[in-house]
């Protein structure tokens, strides 16, 4: 707004934005500070804002990982999220290529894929629970990988379809004329060019699965226990170890924060499944 | 000049002649198709067949056909279902509306500030990608009545005159804590969406309105917000869909209580299925939600279509 560059306008705007930023960051900062507190310091009035310097150590993180089953939870979350992301992006990119270039199945098919995203997870949880029980898949990594794919696979297809449609088809066309097979054209021409799309789709599907809670709660018991389930069960226990849960929380938000920092350009595109390409 | 037509049709015609690419087209899409068929269509059918049966897993694994009985019981005899629907509607309508309004204000303010943009936009975005389980935990600490920072601040500011309630354990405020946590998490999403939309607007149209003597507010209401509508529709649709599924925050903040005052429909469905193990009844309830979601998304898509037609 060129004509509204009066200094006091900028000052007021700056102050309001700063206040908003405090509101949006305070819970995260408070959680981070909590990880350095002792159990007593959590209950004192006035609350301890910044714990004393000598307490700035990793004790609560180590306790969260070793005593509360955090290491296993971290492993489970990594396996489930990594596999889900890998499967969704590999299967999804092939399907996206087919939809973008050959219009396979037409608009109807594309919209059917999109509509599966709207499926309320609680509606899929009941049949999946019964199916997995019969297949003896309950409480395994596979149960969560399959369940999460309900959302991540359509997500990857739609996002990558948009990225492929952005490329001019002439590139593959010339490869095809030179005698490449359709798969070779996809693999050698398209795949390297949609690198940003692949990275975006991988990180988003990873974080969605990493953050997912309902399937993780309903389809596992004790052999598999992702981070979100661990945090919720610790927070629902009788003696609540606030600092340890906070430490688990800080560990749990790392992938999401990395996504925001490194993929800022593609956040809108990712969150709207490619509907908006800013 | 011989320009190559770049329409899809031309491309399609070229490829359709070569039969082997049709095979490739189907082969590429096959794995995804089979996967989606087995993880979405099959469960959908299973939910539907289940909803016509009585299956009490806590009692016996036998399914008995009961016709539409489950649907009738959910819709006419279950006050708790309607309570949960009402709570969910509150979160969807009030929550998303507040997110849009606050997001709009923040985006308009942010569009005035250019210095250090990347850094502080990144900071604003952090809540979006935090697991709702973790944000639920954060706010459970903040809202805690004895040691939470919120009540401490309220007591200090009012010099002890106001004794703030136990936010998550009071029936008047429990649902509100879920709304506020959701607001915290998703207002930045709306802000980012609107900011991106504002910046892609043609400066010429805005300048033209200015030259014609329109004030800042007139330009905003008559030109910039109407131009934003497509973005707003998509943003609201996404938020409405996701808020309808609110579950994690309920578990972490209130467990639906006190009583059932903060139960959302996803949480009540979960209770029926995985605490009471009434699978047939739950399936009927889940199916009703699916119908609601389909109807709501149809409405949005038709609004979008009409809006596009108007351009």
Query: So what's the ipTM on this one?
Result: 0.89
Pair A131, A253 in one domain: yes
DSSP letters spanning chain B: --PPP--HHHHHHHHHHSHHHHHHHHHHHHHHHHHHIIIIIHHHHHHHHHHTEE-BTTT-S--EE-TTHHHHHHHHH-HHHHHHHHHHHHIIIIIHHHHHHHHHHHHHHHTT--TTHHHHHHHHHGGGGS-HHHHHHHHHHHT-TTT-HHHHHHHHHTTT------GGGSTTTHHHHHHHHHHHHHHHHHHHHHHHHHHTS-HHHHHHHHHTT--HHHHIIIIIHHHHHHHHHHHHHHHHHHHHT--HHHHHHTTT-STTTT--HHHHHHHHHHTS-BHHHHHHHHHHHHHHHHHHHHHHHHHHHHHHHH-
A99 touches chain B (CB under 8 A): yes
Same domain, A256 and A239: yes
- Hey, where are the domains in chain B? 54-310
- Each residue's pLDDT tens digit, A35-70: 998 887 888 777 777 888 888 888 889 888 888 888
* Structural tokens at position B266: 């996803």
| Average pLDDT value over all residues in chain B | 86
**In the prediction, which pLDDT does A135 show?**
92
| Chain B residues lying within 8 Å of A102, measured CB to CB | 12, 15, 21-22, 24-25, 28
Whether residue A87 sits in one domain with residue A38: no
Is residue A277 domain-resident? no
Q: Do both A129 and A45 map to the same domain? A: no
Host domain of residue A93: 69-271
pLDDT of residue B310: 65
Specify the pTM: 0.90
CA-based nearest distance B159→chain A, Å: 13
DSSP letter (8 states) at residue A54: G
Task: Decide if A181 and B24 are in contact by the 8 Å CB cutoff.
Answer: yes
Residue contacts between A and B (CB atoms, under 8 Å): 304
The verdict on A175 touching B (C-beta cutoff 8 Å) is no
Q: Which of A103, A120, A256 sits opposite B12 (nearest CB)?
A: A103
- Judge whether residue B190 has pLDDT over 80: yes
pLDDT at B95: 96
pLDDT of amino acid B270: 94
Task: Mark whether A80 and A215 lie in a shared domain.
Answer: yes
Q: What is the DSSP letter of A278?
A: -
Is the pLDDT confidence value at B87 over 90? yes
Structural domain contains residue A278: no
Answer yes or no: are the C-beta atoms of A232 and A213 closer than 8 Å.
Answer: yes
Å between B172 CA and nearest CA of chain A: 22
In contact, B154 and B162? CB cutoff 8 Å: yes
Partners of residue B6 in chain A, C-beta under 8 Å: 168-170
- The proportion of chain B whose per-residue pLDDT surpasses 90, expressed as a percent, equals 39
Domain-ending residue, one of A35, A62, A89 = A62
Note whether A53 and A182 are same-domain residues.
no
Q: Which of A70, A100, A102 to mutate to test the interface with B (most CBs of B within 10 A)?
A: A102
Measured over the CA atoms of residue B235, residue A86, residue B294 and residue B33, the dihedral's sign is positive
Taking the Cβ of residue A116 and every Cβ of chain B, the question of whether any pair is shorter than 8 Å is answered with yes
Question: Are A119 and A250 within one domain?
Answer: yes
Chain B CB within 8 Å of residue A86 CB: no
**Domain count within chain A:** 2
| B54-310 has CATH 1.10.3720.10 classification | yes
Rounded to whole angstroms, the maximal C-alpha distance in chain B is 82
- Mutation for testing the B interface, residue in A3, A25, A107, A122 having most B CBs under 10 Å: A122
Structure tokens at A274: 């490619």
Q: How far apart are CA A62 and CA A68, in angstroms?
A: 10
Looking at the DSSP assignment, which residues form a beta bridge with residue B64?
B54
Answer whether A118 sits within 8 Å of B293, measured CB to CB. yes
Q: Which of A43, A62, A81 is the C-terminal boundary of a domain?
A: A62
User: Is the same domain home to A125 and A48?
Assistant: no
CATH number of the domain encompassing residue A130: 1.10.3720.10
Q: Do A121 and B266 touch (CB under 8 A)?
A: yes
């Amino acid at each position: 707004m060129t004509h509204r560059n009066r200094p006091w306008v900028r000052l007021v705007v700056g102050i309001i934005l700063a206040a908003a930023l405090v509101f949006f960051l305070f819970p995260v900062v408070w959680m981070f500070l909590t990880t350095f507190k002792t159990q007593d310091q959590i209950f004192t009035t006035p609350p301890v804002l910044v714990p004393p310097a000598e307490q700035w150590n990793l004790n609560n993180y180590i306790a969260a990982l070793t005593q509360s089953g955090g290491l296993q939870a971290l492993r489970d979350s990594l396996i489930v999220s990594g596999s889900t992301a890998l499967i969704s992006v590999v299967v999804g990119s092939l399907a996206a290529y087919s939809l973008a270039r050959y219009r396979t199945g037409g608009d109807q098919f594309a919209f059917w894929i999109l509509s599966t995203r709207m499926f309320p997870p609680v509606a899929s949880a009941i049949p999946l629970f019964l199916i997995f029980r019969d297949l003896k898949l309950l409480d395994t990594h596979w149960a969560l990988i399959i369940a999460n794919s309900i959302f991540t696979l359509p997500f990857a297809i739609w996002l990558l379809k948009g990225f492929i449609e952005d490329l001019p088809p002439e590139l593959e066309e010339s490869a095809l004329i030179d005698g490449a097979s359709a798969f070779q054209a996809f693999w050698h021409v398209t795949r390297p060019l949609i690198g940003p799309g692949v990275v975006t789709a991988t990180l988003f599907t990873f974080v969605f699965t990493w953050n997912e809670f309902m399937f993780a709660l309903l389809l596992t018991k004790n052999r598999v226990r992702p981070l979100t389930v661990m945090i919720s069960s610790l927070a629902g226990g009788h003696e609540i170890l606030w600092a340890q849960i906070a430490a688990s929380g800080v560990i749990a938000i790392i992938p999401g924060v990395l996504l925001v920092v490194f993929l800022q350009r593609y956040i809108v595109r990712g969150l709207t499944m490619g509907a908006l390409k800013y | 000049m011989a320009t190559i037509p770049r329409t899809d049709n031309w491309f399609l015609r070229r490829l359709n002649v070569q039969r082997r690419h049709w095979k490739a087209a189907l082969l590429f899409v096959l794995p995804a198709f089979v996967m989606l068929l087995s993880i979405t269509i099959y469960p959908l059918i299973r939910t539907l067949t289940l909803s016509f049966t009585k299956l009490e897993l806590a009692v016996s694994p036998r399914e008995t056909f009961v016709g539409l009985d489950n649907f009738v019981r959910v819709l006419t005899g279950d006050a708790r279902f309607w309570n949960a629907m009402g709570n969910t509607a509150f979160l969807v309508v009030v929550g998303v509306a507040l997110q849009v309004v606050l997001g709009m204000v923040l985006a308009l303010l942010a569009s005035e500030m250019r210095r250090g943009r990347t850094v502080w936009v990144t900071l604003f975005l952090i809540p979006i990608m935090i697991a709702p389980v973790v944000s639920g935990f954060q706010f459970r600490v903040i809202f805690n009545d004895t040691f939470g920072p919120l009540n401490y601040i309220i007591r200090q500011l009012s010099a002890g005159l106001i004794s703030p309630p136990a936010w998550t354990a009071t029936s008047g405020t429990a649902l509100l804590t879920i709304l506020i946590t959701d607001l915290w998490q998703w207002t930045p999403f709306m802000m980012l969406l609107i900011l991106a939309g504002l910046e892609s607007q043609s400066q010429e149209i805005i300048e033209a309105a200015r030259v014609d003597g329109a004030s800042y507010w007139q330009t905003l209401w008559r030109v910039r917000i109407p131009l934003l509508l497509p973005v707003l529709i998509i943003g609201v649709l996404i938020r409405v869909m996701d808020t309808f599924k609110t579950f994690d925050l309920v578990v972490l903040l209130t467990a639906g209580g006190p009583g059932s005052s903060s139960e959302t429909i996803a949480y009540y469905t979960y209770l029926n299925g995985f605490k009471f193990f009434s699978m047939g009844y739950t399936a009927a309830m889940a199916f009703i939600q699916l119908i609601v979601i389909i109807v709501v998304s149809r409405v949005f898509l038709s609004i979008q279509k009409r809006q596009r037609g108007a351009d």
